[in-house]
Structure 1
Amino acid sequence: MSTENDSEGETTRITRKGQVTIPKELRDEFGLEEGDELLWQKAEDGIRVRKATHSAGRGMLVDDDISEEKREEMAEEMEATIREKRRTAWTPE
């Protein structure tokens, strides 16, 4: 990976596979972690990249009077259950 700083920020190169590395400073600042989804949008001046929200579907199956803390707790439990099911569903041959 090659990076260089310019007056507007840090640059990285696109790999042969079309991959890019997000600078650590930006990953830390915006809370980006492995597995997070990014949204790539066309903009008049180029490309805009932002973290895709995972809250878009939240609330559809939960009553409005449930606190944000409880919603987060429920989401974390659901994610843990999904990870466990994926882990146990895969069995090497």
Structure 2
Amino acid sequence: MSTENDTEGETTRITRKGQVTIPKKLREEFGLKEGDEIRWEKAEDGIRVRKATQSTGRGMLVDEDVPTEKREAMAEEMEAEIREKRQTEWQP
């Protein structure tokens, strides 16, 4: 990975399997974590990458007195269940 000036961003290589590593600085800045989904979109000037996983509503249905750590654990558990269900539904 090479770092260029701030207007150019950072570059990474695509692996043989078509995988790309998102630079740590960008993962931290945009709150990207393992299991998050990103969306690849065509744009006039190339490709745009957006975070598809929405975490802004986390904990909305939980009582206000539930500690943040517990809310996060509940949200992660729910995300894992959703991922597992999607994987089993998409398998031929």
- Runs of at least 5 residues in structure 1 that lack an aligned partner in the other structure: 59-67, 87-93
Based on CA coordinates, which of the two structures has the bigger radius of gyration? 1
Aligned length: 71
TM-score of the superposed pair, with normalisation by structure 2:
0.61
- Runs of at least 5 residues in structure 2 that lack an aligned partner in the other structure: 63-70, 86-92
Give % identity. 59
CA distance in 2, matches of 1:45, 1:82: 37
Q: Hey, what does 2:89 align to over in structure 1?
A: none
TM-score of the superposed pair, with normalisation by structure 1:
0.60
| 1:14-93 equivalent positions in 2, closer than 5 A | 14-54=14-54, 69-71=59-61, 73=71, 76=75, 79=78, 82=81
Q: 1:15 Cα deviation (Å)?
A: 0.2
Aligned pair in 2 of structure 1 residues 13, 76: CA closer, same or farther (>3 Å)?
Answer: same
Q: Hey, what does 2:66 align to over in structure 1?
A: none
4+ long deviations beyond 4 Å: none
Question: Which structure: greater strand fraction?
Answer: 1
